[in-house]
Each structure stands twice: as structure tokens, then as C-alpha cells.
Amino acid sequence: MTLAWPWVLALLPLPWLYRRLMRPAGGSAPVLRARHYARLTGGLTTGTAPTTSRVRLVLLSVVWLGLLLAAARPTWVGEPITLTTTGRDLMLAVDISDSMRISDMRIGDELLPRITVLKAVAGDFIHQRQGDRLGLILFGSQAYLQAPLTFDLRTVQTLLTEAQVRFAGLSTAIGDAIVIAIKRLEDQAASSKVLILLSDGADTASTVPPLKAAELAARQGIVIHTIGLGATPFVRGGRVVDPAGDLDEATLRQIAEMTGGHYFRAHDPTELAGVYAELNAIEPVEQDGETLRPRRELFHWPLGIALAAWVLLLSHQLWRGRHD
């Protein structure tokens, strides 16, 4: 228990000092009296019954003491609590170009669009990253920062769920997405900076080539894990159909190698979930935890007691007034 402003309690003897120092004026000059004040305090200065006088004095003292305690702001301070942090800043870069609407992700007998499966799997991944700061980048023909680095994982998950194919254009700007991640991660104090980049195509729209962007990321100590998404080739009508024919695995693999990350290939929802499970298993680097002490304001308790004493005092005066 602490007091924010304990010096306020120095005012405690003020009513007593006032009563001692402010003597009645001499002589027989007429004086003005406030009727209500006189009725309230008359018992302290006139010949009112000693018991009544003591009741008034006690109630007035309680009112004054309660007001002073409330003004001093009593606060309950709990035991120190250490909040451990992982020291990891993690950006997610998600491809929402036109090809992400292709329905080649098989779940049972149903084929679902790539973006639909990605939202479900990545959403679970985000939910499990408690302690990390996450950010979200969406890219198509252009790359956009959808969510800055934050501990608010629910908001990041919501923004990913609301993302729609073609919102950022039809093409793919992998290099520009990496550049945005660099700008957001380079000045951060986290001990581990990671970018997870998922694409189902090749870079066709960046102003900065992907490998040049990866080189810049490596200089900043940013690790990039890349994921290539697209179904396995199959035969249809006597010819081979490759849904992931536009996927540039070589570039994605090289980006990961240049930055000390890993390249993952996901052909279906099960493999994609396995990729995120593997990424989720990476042990974060522990930092010194932040120590907090829970605080709770208690000023309302003495303020309530003072108010209750004041109500009792007024009620007592009204009762006496009716019986005098």
C-alpha cells in the first residue's frame, strides 16, 4: 500500500489550528451567522448535550480524514510480475496476386482456392505466436504494409482473413515485399528478425529484384523463410497439367539461402500446415523479461467513507431540527 501524495496528510491538523488561532472578535458588535453552518457546528461551541457534540465531532473528523486520504491517492501495489518476451520480430508476406484464386488445394474430394487454405493455415500459425511481434505484408503488382509489428495477434489474423485476391493487383512483386519488410525490421531492437514469404508465382512487377532485396536483408541480419505454394502436376486429357508452373522455386530457394533461412514446398493443405508447424517449432531467443507491478487505485474507499459520514451528519442534524 502506497500513497501517491503523502504530503497531503500534513493538512490533517488544519481544522484544529484554525479553531485555536481564529479567536472570536471582542466587543459587542453585531455579527452575521450562517444558519445552516450554525446548526451544523453549534454543538461544538454552544451548550448542546455533550453526547451530541461528540457525535458531530467524530463525524466531522471522519469526513476530513476521508477527504485527505482520498486526496493522497492510496494505491495497492502487487508483487512484481516478470513478462517474458521472445525477442522475435516476425513479418508475414503473403502473395494475393491473381493466381492465388486457383482452386488446386485438395481437402477430401473438394478443391479449394489457394488463398482460402492459406488463410486457415496461416491463421492457426499466427494464433500460436504468443510473445512475438507480428506484422503483415500483402503483395500483388505492388506490396503494401497491412499491419505494422504488433503484439495484437488477433488484429493481424483479422486483416489476413479480410485480404482478397487482386486487391494489390494481378502480378507478383516479391522483391518489393522484401524491401518493405527490411524497412520495418532494420531499426528494431529484437534479437531475432524473421520474414516468412509465401508465393505461388515468379516476380513480375518489383522495382527491386528479389535477389537484390535478399542481399539487403542479409546485411541487416534478417532471416527469410520462403514457401512455394501450388499443387503437384497431374494428367488430364492425355497431357500433363502443372498448376504451379509459374512458381519460381529457384529464386525462392536462393532468397532463403542468402539470408540463412529455409525454403519449403507446399503441394497441398497438409504440407502447408506442416510447413507452418515446422516454422512454429523454431525456438525463439529469450530476452530479459519486463518486470511489472500491478497497481490498483483505492482512493474511492476513503472518499466513500467521507461521503457516508457527511450524509450521517446531515441526517443527524435534520433529525435534531425536527425534535428541537
Taking 80 as the threshold, does the pLDDT of residue 126 lie above it?
Answer: yes
- Per-residue confidence (pLDDT) for residue 163, from 0 to 100: 92
Domain CATH for 110? 3.40.50.410
Tell me, yes or no, whether 144 and 271 share the same domain. Answer: yes
- The range of the structural domain enclosing residue 242 comes to 83-280
Tell me, yes or no, whether 270 and 220 share the same domain. Answer: yes
314: in domain: yes
CA 62 to centroid of chain Cα atoms: 42
**Bigger pLDDT: 240 or 224?**
224
318: in domain: yes
Taking 50 as the threshold, does the pLDDT of residue 125 lie above it?
Answer: yes
Instruction: State the DSSP H helix or E strand holding residue 252, giving kind and residue range, or none if neither.
Output: helix 249-259
- Per-residue confidence (pLDDT) for residue 29, from 0 to 100: 54
Half-sphere exposure of 50 (CA within 13 A, CB side): 0
Tell me, yes or no, whether 227 and 111 share the same domain. Answer: yes
Tell me, yes or no, whether 94 and 136 share the same domain. Answer: yes
24: in domain: no
Q: Percent of the chain at pLDDT above 70?
A: 82
Q: Which residue has the cell 525463439?
A: 284
Taking 90 as the threshold, does the pLDDT of residue 245 lie above it?
Answer: no
Tell me, yes or no, whether 215 and 253 share the same domain. Answer: yes
Tell me, yes or no, whether 69 and 155 share the same domain. Answer: no
Angle at 192 (CA atoms; ends 259, 80), nearest 5 degrees: 175
- Per-residue confidence (pLDDT) for residue 283, from 0 to 100: 47
Tell me, yes or no, whether 310 and 273 share the same domain. Answer: no
Beta-bridge partner residues of 105: 112
Instruction: State the DSSP H helix or E strand holding residue 256, giving kind and residue range, or none if neither.
Output: helix 249-259
Tell me, yes or no, whether 58 and 206 share the same domain. Answer: no
> What's the burial of 250, exposed, middle or buried (CB within 10 Å: 0-12/13-18/19+)?
exposed
92: in domain: yes
Q: Are strands 74-77 and 192-199 parallel, antiparallel or unpaired?
A: unpaired
Q: State the average pLDDT over residues 216-221.
A: 94
Whether pTM > 0.85 for this model: the answer is: no
- For the chain, what is the domain count? 2
Beta-bridge partner residues of 93: 137, 197
CA distance 59 to 82: 44
6: in domain: yes
pLDDT band at residue 244 under the 50/70/90 scheme: confident
Taking 80 as the threshold, does the pLDDT of residue 31 lie above it?
Answer: no
- Per-residue confidence (pLDDT) for residue 285, from 0 to 100: 42
Tell me, yes or no, whether 43 and 113 share the same domain. Answer: no
Taking 90 as the threshold, does the pLDDT of residue 130 lie above it?
Answer: no
Q: Whole-number mean pLDDT of the chain?
A: 83
| pLDDT digits 0-9 by tens, 84-104 | 555 678 999 999 999 999 998
Q: State the average pLDDT over residues 45-70.
A: 77
- Per-residue confidence (pLDDT) for residue 169, from 0 to 100: 87
Closest CA to 145 of 135, 153, 156: 135
25: in domain: no
223: in domain: yes
Tell me, yes or no, whether 175 and 230 share the same domain. Answer: yes
Q: Percent of the chain at pLDDT above 90?
A: 40
Tell me, yes or no, whether 46 and 179 share the same domain. Answer: no
Q: In degrees rounded to 5, what are phi and psi of residue 180?
A: -60, -40
Cβ contact 213:91 at 8 Å: no
Q: State the average pLDDT over residues 146-152.
A: 92
28: in domain: no
Taking 90 as the threshold, does the pLDDT of residue 30 lie above it?
Answer: no
Taking 90 as the threshold, does the pLDDT of residue 80 lie above it?
Answer: no
Tell me, yes or no, whether 45 and 94 share the same domain. Answer: no
Q: State the average pLDDT over residues 9-28.
A: 75
CA distance 179 to 191: 20
Q: State the average pLDDT over residues 181-194.
A: 84
